[in-house]
């Protein structure tokens, strides 16, 4: 967010706390949500997040998840967007710990994953306060929803819980634009944290690269609904193929070919039947 937007959020938070104490309306909270949505929904910010994730060593392994989720989001497919991102959250945190399935080590539990956020050292002592704030925000989100016991999650707000989603544990297995925006916010905060820890990827401006500008344009076309499915599929295949961890389907099902094959099989069967009956084909 830009500096003036951060200041505005801080001002609205102060007003919201006063409103809660005095029992007034929650208008400041809705204004905060409007500000955050404008930031999270911005195609430039979303494409930059994919760019950063693809170039950060603890997240590039799962960057194709964010790529696919962002495409789902701008198509209005919030269900697929959220379910694509939920496993990604744990995956990037496990990569941060240096864990992989190939290591043969036991999968770290939720407590160890949370602790890894606290124990990692930073190269930016001057930014320690910001680092601490970002870590606390990530841990709070994980403890309240993602890694919470499914019986304890705050379902009045969201059903973003890994066990609830994986096991389809109730009628809350649907996801909204707000759920996707929460997960995008988690990614943004994590990427900022990595920037503060490493000193890499920080800067006031979004770089102008083909990687980013191509996605910005495509996201706008998707949001406005002015691109065909065929054209969109070709562009998105190119986006997905740019990620090393993604392996494209080499021989996807082709309905036209299937129909032609079944028609040929039917004609062959019909010819054989006529031959048995002594009728000319």
Nearest CA-CA partner of 242 in 42, 47, 43, 74: 47
Looking at the structure, do residues 16 and 84 belong to the same domain, yes or no? no
25 lies in which domain range? 1-40
Confidence (pLDDT) at 2: 47
Q: What is the mean predicted confidence (pLDDT) over 112-135?
A: 73
Looking at the structure, do residues 19 and 156 belong to the same domain, yes or no? no
Looking at the structure, do residues 162 and 268 belong to the same domain, yes or no? no
Confidence (pLDDT) at 160: 80
| Dist CA 40 CA 31 (whole Å) | 14
Query: For the segment 201-231, what is each residue's pLDDT rounded down to a tens digit?
Result: 666 678 889 999 999 999 999 999 989 999 9
Comparing 3 with 158, the larger pLDDT belongs to 158
Q: What count of other Cβ atoms lies within 10 Å of the Cβ of residue 47? A: 24
Looking at the structure, do residues 225 and 186 belong to the same domain, yes or no? yes
Q: What is the number of structural domains in the chain?
A: 3
Looking at the structure, do residues 218 and 271 belong to the same domain, yes or no? no
Q: What count of other Cβ atoms lies within 10 Å of the Cβ of residue 30? A: 12
Q: How far is CA 123 from CA 27, 128, 195, in A?
A: 40, 9, 10
Question: Do residues 75 and 264 touch, judged by C-beta distance below 8 A?
Answer: no
Query: For the segment 72-104, what is each residue's pLDDT rounded down to a tens digit?
Result: 999 999 999 999 999 899 888 888 888 878 878
Looking at the structure, do residues 61 and 159 belong to the same domain, yes or no? yes
Looking at the structure, do residues 141 and 97 belong to the same domain, yes or no? yes
Looking at the structure, do residues 123 and 50 belong to the same domain, yes or no? yes
Report CA torsion sign: 179, 183, 186, 191: negative
Q: What is the mean predicted confidence (pLDDT) over 112-133?
A: 72
Question: Do residues 165 and 173 touch, judged by C-beta distance below 8 A?
Answer: yes
Question: Do residues 108 and 94 touch, judged by C-beta distance below 8 A?
Answer: yes
Looking at the structure, do residues 6 and 48 belong to the same domain, yes or no? no
Q: What count of other Cβ atoms lies within 10 Å of the Cβ of residue 189? A: 16
Q: What are phi and psi of 57, to 5 degrees?
A: -65, -20
Looking at the structure, do residues 243 and 265 belong to the same domain, yes or no? no
Alpha carbon 213 to chain centroid, angstroms: 19
Looking at the structure, do residues 148 and 186 belong to the same domain, yes or no? yes
Res. 145 pLDDT band, cuts 50 70 90: confident
| Dist CA 29 CA 280 (whole Å) | 80
The angle formed by the CA atoms of residues 259, 264 and 267, to the nearest 5 degrees, is 125
pLDDT at 165 exceeding the cut of 70: yes
Determine what percent of the chain is predicted with pLDDT higher than 90: 31
Q: How many CA atoms lie within 13 A of 257 on its CB side?
A: 4
Looking at the structure, do residues 36 and 140 belong to the same domain, yes or no? no
Question: Do residues 113 and 94 touch, judged by C-beta distance below 8 A?
Answer: yes
Res. 33 pLDDT band, cuts 50 70 90: low
């Amino acid at each position: 967010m830009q500096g003036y937007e951060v200041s505005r959020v801080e001002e609205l938070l102060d007003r919201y706390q006063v409103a809660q104490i005095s029992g007034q309306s929650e208008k400041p909270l809705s204004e905060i949500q409007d500000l955050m949505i404008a930031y999270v929904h911005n195609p430039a910010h979303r494409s930059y997040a994919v760019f950063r994730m693809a170039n950060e060593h603890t997240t590039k392994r799962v960057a194709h998840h964010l790529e696919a989720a962002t495409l789902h989001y701008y198509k209005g497919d919030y269900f697929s967007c959220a379910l694509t991102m939920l496993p990604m959250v744990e995956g990037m945190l496990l990569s941060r710990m240096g864990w992989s399935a190939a290591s043969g080590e036991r999968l770290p539990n939720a407590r160890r994953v949370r602790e890894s956020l606290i124990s990692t050292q930073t190269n930016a002592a001057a930014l320690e306060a910001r680092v601490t704030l970002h870590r606390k925000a990530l841990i709070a989100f994980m403890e309240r929803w993602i890694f919470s016991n499914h019986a304890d999650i705050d379902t009045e707000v969201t059903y973003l819980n890994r066990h609830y989603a994986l096991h389809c544990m109730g009628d809350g297995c649907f996801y909204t634009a707000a759920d996707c925006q929460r997960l995008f916010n988690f990614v943004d905060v994590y990427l900022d944290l990595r920037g503060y820890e490493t000193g890499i990827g920080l800067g006031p401006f979004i770089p102008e690269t083909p990687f980013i500008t191509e996605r910005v344009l495509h996201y706008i076309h998707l949001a406005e609904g002015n691109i065909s499915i065929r054209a969109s599929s070709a562009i998105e295949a190119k986006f997905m193929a740019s990620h090393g961890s993604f392996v494209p389907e080499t021989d996807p099902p082709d309905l036209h070919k299937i129909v032609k094959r079944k028609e040929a099989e039917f004609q062959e069967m019909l010819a054989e039947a006529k031959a048995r009956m002594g009728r000319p084909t």
